[in-house]
Each structure stands twice: as structure tokens, then as C-alpha cells.
Copies of this chain bind each other. A is one copy, B any other.
Amino acid sequence: MKKPLFSFIFSSAFILLLAAMLFSHCAAPEEERALTGLQEKALTFTGPLPEDAFEEGMVRSEERIELGKMLFYEPRLSKSGLISCNTCHNMSTFGVDQLPVSVGHMWQKGPRNAPTVLNAALHGSQFWDGREPDVESQALMPILDPVEMASSEEHVLAVLASMPEYVERFREAFPDEEEPLVYKNVGVAIGAFERILLTYSRFDDFLRGDAGALTDREKEGLRAYMDVGCQSCHGGTALGGTAFAVFETPAERESGESDPGRFDITGNPMHMHSFKVPSLLNIAETYPYLHDGSVWSLSETVDIVALDMLGRELTAEENKHIVAFLGALTGEVPAYALELPVLPPSTEQTPRPVFD
């Protein structure tokens, strides 16, 4: 049985450090409030969420975001006409399906727990194994995966091209492109929608200067979080999503069948059983936990990870406080994302669903 190892990507850590320095510099003057020592300490490894996750040079247009939302909720992108992004990343339940692993085409089960789409655009890479660089490229994958939406690029484009409203919306969302309705742009549009899916929590208020935004127990939890060293992996604005770490779940160790993780992508033996460190934002709502979704209790998960990754056996008190702090990371799902779009009707040209 393998002993778990630490394995960080130091370049990401460096970027995080820079970002944290930047935030700690900005927060105080913006709020014109003196920060407490606890706030200052927290700002050394994280910062409040930005307004959105668009990066320099990206197009942030209403047309593109709205099209992305429609595609996110569009079941006709799937082979069966039944499964949309929202099936597994249900906006009603914080962008996850709350199942150990997801259920896809023909009730096939996915290999890993579905991460939330909320704040996902802040991650350094996508998927548990980090195999895609951003939400734009990630969004294209489950559509084609035979155990998820089981579609094809041809099917998706035929579906979208069959409805005049979609053709027009692609034109408006990509006004400078001669051929806006291409598969890549499906991902660009869904990605644009995902880049506004940031969830502001009381911890954000705290980091922006409102020391009273956390309860005393949550503050104790934040102290314990830092004392124990959680931020060494779970740092940055998303409290995770950037570093990678070698990790086997208790269920995997028991069964002796551990997911190779990032090794399957890179072939690098250093990456055996290595996974992207998940973000802790909304963690109280995105159970069950770990990459195989094998643990339902957040408290239990905190104990497992602290012991395994940091060699720390938490006291019951520490555990309670940290769990309380993690609860303060539950944010608001943007109202706009919760408003279902009314989808355009199929036409005679729309390919029929195939569900057996």
C-alpha cells in the first residue's frame, strides 16, 4: 500500500502568493477600515472574490453569457436529448448533483465525483486530473464523453444550426467571426457563463474588512485552518483549485484499487494518484466528498485530509471549528444563473434524440 506524498505545483503557488499580496494591498484602502490581525493573516493566502473570472483580452458580452446559459441548460446537446450540463451541475444544489459519481447516458456512471461549476473558472486547471486548462475547453468534454452526454460535434452543430434563434444568437455572441457556429464556440459561450458563476459569502465580507461577518466559532475555525496548515494546499481566492496533491481515499485504500489520477494524463510517475486540490467554496453544500465521492460527512472529510495530507490528528474542537469556518464559505448562487432560459423550439431539421 502506497504512502501518500505531498506534491505541489510551485509555479501555481507563486502566482497565488503574488495574487494574495495584491489583494492584501488593495482591500484595506478600498474599505477604509483597519483590518484585524486575523484578517491580515487570512489575506496572506487568499483574497475576496473578484467581480467575475474574465481574464485580460476575453470578451465579456451579455450576448455571449446568455447564449452560454442557454447551452448550459440545453438537453438537446446530448445524444438522448435528456442530459444537459445542469443535470450533473444542478444550479439548485450549488452546481453539483450531490451523488458520489454522476449518472449519464443510458444510466452509465462516471468515474469520479462531479465538481461544482460555481467558481470553477477561478481554478488553475479543470477536471480532477487538471487535463483541461480552462472552463472553455472543459465544457466541451462531457458533451462528447460516451458515459456522460454521449454526443458528437456533428450532432451538437446540427442541433444548434437547426434552430434559427441559436444561429442568430451565435452571430450576436461572436460578432467578429465569419463562422460563429463552430464547436469551439459552444465552449467559449458556456465558459463565459461560468466566468460569472462566482458566489460571494460572508468570508468575502470578512476579507473586505467586515470583521464581524464571521462568528467567533468561525474565526476560531479560520485560526485552526491556518495553524493546521490547510492553506498550504487550499489557498488562493478559491481556497483550492490550483495545486495538485497525491491522495488516495480511505475507500480506495481499502479496496486496493486507487485512481491513477493525473498519471493517466501525463504518464509521469510523480503524478500517480495525483489530483487537483478541490476548492473549498460552498464545500458544505457539495457533498459527498473526495474524488470518488466516498465520504458524506464534511467533519469526517476534514479529519481524513488533515491526517493524510498534513499528518495532523485534529482534536474534536479543532475539527468543529474548521467545519464551522468552512460553512461560512457557502455563498450566494447568482440569481441570474438560477433563472432558467426558455429554449427555442426544435424544427424539422433538428436531429431526433436517440435514447436507447
Contact = CB atoms under 8 A, between A and B. Distances in A.
A56 interface: no
A93 B285 CA distance: 28
A287 to B, nearest CB: 7
Nearest to A338: B340
A97 B345 CA distance: 12
Given A287-B346, A346-B287, A356-B109, A341 B92 contact: yes
Interface residues of A, number: 39
A344 to B, nearest CB: 9
Given A106-B107, A346-B287, A73 B92 contact: yes
A103 B80 contact: yes
A353 B96 CA distance: 14
B93 A343 contact: yes
A348 interface: yes
A94 B341 CA distance: 11
A316 interface: no
Interface string A285-309: 1010000000011000000000000
A103 B91 contact: no
Interface of A: prevailing SS: loop
Contacts of A338: 339-342
Contacts of A284: 345
Nearest to A74: B92
B352 A296 contact: yes
Contacts of A107: 106-107, 355
A75 B97 CA distance: 9
B90 A75 contact: yes
Contacts of A91: 340
Contacts of A228: none
A264 to B, nearest CB: 24
A296 B353 CA distance: 11
A106, A342, A346 — most chain B CB neighbours (10 Å): A342
Nearest to A340: B338
A72 B336 CA distance: 20
A92 B342 contact: yes
B342 A340 contact: no
A241 B58 CA distance: 51
A269 B355 CA distance: 34
Contacts of A87: 82
A76 B297 CA distance: 17
A329 to B, nearest CB: 13
Given A92-B340, A106-B107, A99 B353 contact: yes
A37 B338 CA distance: 45
A146 interface: no
Contacts of A81: 97-99
A251 to B, nearest CB: 14
A85 interface: no
Nearest to A330: B345
A224 interface: no
10 contacts: A80-B99, A82-B103, A94-B342, A99-B355, A107-B355, A109-B355, A109-B356, A287-B346, A296-B352, A338-B340
8 interchain residue pairs of minimum CB distance: A107-B107, A338-B340, A92-B340, A92-B343, A285-B345, A106-B107, A73-B92, A93-B343
